[in-house]
Structure formats: structure tokens, C-alpha cells
Structure 1
């Protein structure tokens, strides 16, 4: 058994993974219901992979503090998993992050730091400086460049979907760090002739959970696996929330940004 398979099995044991695949009427469209994960979003998967692998390889020590910049769901997942594993966490978020996010982070025992503006760029820069000053105290997850972010979906989400569907023609994934879309696209392109579309926020739109990495210096995962993505579409805030409203009203799917779908 590979280390990655072992990590995936351990994640499932604590309630991360094996989420339902929901068929949306007769559209031929399926949604992976990631709010069934232990800490309520798709980010649980990558967070567990990154933390557990670091513990197994010894790069993370139990006495260290895990630190990460996040606009929401990754921070919540890291805080929840850290508490479950008995490790301290510090999550750095933009000051515009929803109040609910800060409340959940505090509930999970994380130290919460806010940085100016609505972008995680300032949060990442803050961590850069802090870790340089305290290299022994902190273990930085580095979700934007950590390839385990992508591996979580290559070894977990992709195989789960494949066990339920005989063939897939097209996958559409919202982009934040690029971990979900690159892990899924690599897995499915090895099996099928599949088209991959990434969803980005329209210019000027602030949609929790989505991010345009191409206007950032932090996009290593997407740079490594960019050839696996065929095209991109953008959505505005109004379009995103109208979609969320429709999914909730018509299908009772809880796809708010704080939850994930």
C-alpha cells in the first residue's frame, strides 16, 4: 500500500471522503456533495493529505504550530483537523472574510489573524515574514504550492467518482489554489477523453472560495499541471449567488461558499 493510499484510508475513517454523488434530474450533470465531509467542504481532503503526510514524513512536529493563509474553507479544515490531531493552528485571513468563518476558526481553537484587503495575497505575505522570523515554531502548509493539495483528489475524489460513473465527458471545477481541478483532471484524463473547464471569478468579483491565480505570484500547482485544463469560464458574484439560490430551491443542495458542493 502506498503512503497516499494509506492517507486516503485514514481520511475516510475520520469522515473525510466518500461523499455522495448527486444526479441533477435528467441533465446528465452530477454534483459531488462535499459538504458531507467532516468539516463541511472539499478542502477537508487536501488539508488532511497535507497535514498527515507532513506528520508521517517528520517535516511537521506535534509541538509546532500549523500556519496557513486562507479565505475560508481551507482554514476551517486545517483548524478542525489540527484540533482533532492535537496540534496548534494559526490561520491568517483577509479582513473581509465572513464573520462566520472567523467564528468557526475560533471554535476549532485556531489563532485567527486578519490582514488588510479582500485578497489572500496580503495574508500570504504576512506568513512569509512571520515564518522567516520563527522557522522552528511554525509549519507552513503552503496550499498554493503543495502538490499534496492536488494528490488528495487524484487518490481520493477522482476514484470515488469513477466507481459510480462508467464514463465522464466533461468536468467543471471552481479554481482557488488549483488543487481540486488538477487532481481530478490528471486522474480522469488517464482514463477517458475528458474535457476540463475551470471556473474563475470575473474581474472585480469577490466570490468566497474562488480565486484567479493568474493575477497572483502564487500559482505553482496550476503552473505544473496547466496542460490538463482545456478552458476557463468566469462568473460574477450575481451569477454565482443566483446559481447557489437555484440549487438550494430546486434541489435542496447546500452549496453556499462557506460549505462547498
Structure 2
């Protein structure tokens, strides 16, 4: 009799996500564009990795005690990951989120048993910003720890130790370029650091949405934001602890319209239902692929992150009235 082949813990379901060749983006770039399917994590996003590493790090340092509470400020996906990890390990969660985020994320957090605190959207300099509010709640709550995903480098460690080696193995030990957007900075910095340790010649590119300040920072040395974006969970106006020393070789700025074009095409042509951050990542991967091909790497391989599922944005990105209100193109099938 052989032993069962399944996972021994539900937490073992986090990571080891599939990798898929994206046909349309590959044709557009003139080289291979691969997507890491992070929507296949239990919480349906890349943030499950950071959530698990942050909780395990807190346990190892002795700050999170049995029956304790995890408090975090998040655009939603990290909170969902933390709630699932906390449920599996016997902790409670308090999640602070801007009230501008999708209804699906709010409903999901409540359904998972998290205590949800909504605050008005505000700049980071405002004391009412969701990150500052979550820190204060953690300080005021007995037995609580603050996850602090933006400046807790257990976040990027998750990608150094899991995302990067997974990509390296899945791509047969050759990756010419990797790119994704930055929210906390953990994914781009950690995956970049991990890949550079395996091959220093891998080109790491930041894909930045409009309204964020990092494109100008890496291109010109100045934190300066231009324009705006409706993408949730990405875009940063400061150098977080996770972004500190990130090995960024080049950078691209991608508009919502460009990202939405790839969201539309990947759903209509390849059957992938994704969020806007994934569309922006794919647009950046196409730009990076074209750049590498122009540099003579005709057989370049570029990887990016398919960060979460589009099912999390049915009331926003996949809603005709919402798209029209934002001045964005409507999916053709929604306008029928």
C-alpha cells in the first residue's frame, strides 16, 4: 500500500503555482511570455505567500502567541491570505481596508471571519491612511501583532525562498527577464533577488501603473507620481523596506487602457479571467520582451505574475457601468 499523494496541511497548498505560456503576449513581444498563475493559491492571489511567511516569522520571533490576533492594513488580497492562514493556525484577524476597494474583497473577508474595518481612501501622509490605522489598532488590541506587509521583509523573503526558485525550475533554469508591478514591493524585490542569486544576467524590470512614483524613481532618481490608475493593490509612492535594494534593471510605465487590453484579450482568446494588475504586468512583460529582442535575444524568455482572479472584480472591472464611469473601454461582450 502506497502513502497518499496529497498535501499534509492546507498551508502546503500555498505556492508551487502553475506556469503558463501566454500565446497572444508572446506573439506581440516576438518571444516567450510566461505567466505565473498566482490566482491558483487558496486565497486566489499572490499575497497568500507573503501572508504565510509573515505569520510564520511572527511565530518564530515569539510575537504571535496561540490564540492571538493579526492586524493588517491592505487593499484586500493580503487580508484574505492572512485570514485563511490565521484560520488554519487558530488566530483571529482584523483587516483595515480603504472603502474604495471592490465589494467582492469586502464580502470575501467578512465571509472568512475577519473583522473588517473600512476607512476613507487617503494619502500615506494622512494619519487616517489604512496602514497607519491598522498599526494603531494593533497597538490597542491585546495579544495582537501588526503584519506590516509594506515594511516587513518577511514579505519579500517569501518570494526569495519560493517564487524565484519555482520559476527557475519551471523554466528549465533559463529566464532572460522578469517583471511585475509593485504594491508593497515584496514580489518584485524578492523574486528579483532570488533570480539574481541564480543568474545575475536576468533582467528585472519594474512595471509601474500611472499614479505611482516608482517609475520616475528608478528612471530619474526622483519619487514623482504622474496620472492615475484604478488598479487595486499596486502603485507605490515611497521606498518601502521591501523595495530597499531591489535589483531593478529597467522600468516601464503602463496605462490602465494598456492593461485592460490584455485583460480583455487573455479572457477572450485564452480563457484567463484576471484582475487589472495582471493585465498591467502582462503589458510590462510584452514591453520587456520587445526590449530584449531588440537587444538581440531573439529567443528570450520573460516571466510575469498573474496576481489574482478577475472574479474578485465583478462589481468593478467587469461591470459596464463602472467602466463607463471611469472612462475606460467596456468589454465588447458586456456592451451587447
Q: TM-score, normalised by structure 1?
A: 0.87
- CA positional deviation for 1:155: 0.8
Cα 1:173–1:10 change in 2 (3 A) is farther
> Could you tell me which of 95, 100, 105 is aligned with 2:104?
100
Which region of structure 1 is more displaced relative to structure 2, 136-145 or 91-100?
136-145
- CA positional deviation for 1:257: 4.8
Structure 1 distance, partners of 2:88, 2:138, is 24
Partner residue of 1:235? 254
Tell me the C-alpha RMSD between the 2 structures: 2.2
Structure 2 distance, partners of 1:83, 1:257, is 28
Superposed, 1:192-207 pairs within 5 Å as 192=199, 193-203=201-211, 204-207=228-231
Structure 2 distance, partners of 1:12, 1:157, is 18
Cα 1:257–1:33 change in 2 (3 A) is same
* Contact kept? 2:149, 2:184, Cα under 8 Å: yes
Superposed, 1:50-199 pairs within 5 Å as 50-117=54-121, 122-134=129-141, 136-165=142-171, 166-192=173-199, 193-199=201-207
Cα 1:10–1:125 change in 2 (3 A) is farther
Partner residue of 2:321? none
- SS of 2:175's equivalent in the other structure is coil
> Could you tell me which of 18, 28, 35 is aligned with 1:20?
18
Structure 2 distance, partners of 1:74, 1:106, is 14
Unaligned runs of 5+ in 2: 1-6, 212-227, 278-306, 310-336
- CA positional deviation for 1:142: 0.6
Cα 1:10–1:184 change in 2 (3 A) is farther
- SS of 2:252's equivalent in the other structure is strand
- CA positional deviation for 1:53: 2.2
* Contact kept? 2:210, 2:255, Cα under 8 Å: yes
- CA positional deviation for 1:36: 0.9
Unaligned runs of 5+ in 1: 1-8
**Cα deviation per residue 1:39-82 (whole Å; 9 max; x = unaligned)?**
11111111101112212332111222100000021111111211
**Cα deviation per residue 1:78-106 (whole Å; 9 max; x = unaligned)?**
11211122210000000101110000000
Equivalenced residue count is 247
- SS of 2:242's equivalent in the other structure is helix
Which region of structure 1 is more displaced relative to structure 2, 19-28 or 109-118?
19-28
1:210 corresponds to 2:234 = yes
Structure 2 distance, partners of 1:69, 1:127, is 5
- SS of 2:145's equivalent in the other structure is strand
Which region of structure 1 is more displaced relative to structure 2, 124-133 or 94-103?
124-133
- CA positional deviation for 1:207: 0.7
* Contact kept? 1:96, 1:118, Cα under 8 Å: no
**Larger Rg, first or second structure (1 or 2):** 2
* Contact kept? 2:51, 2:155, Cα under 8 Å: yes
> Could you tell me which of 31, 43, 57 is aligned with 1:39?
43
* Contact kept? 1:12, 1:18, Cα under 8 Å: no
- SS of 2:95's equivalent in the other structure is strand
- CA positional deviation for 1:119: 5.7
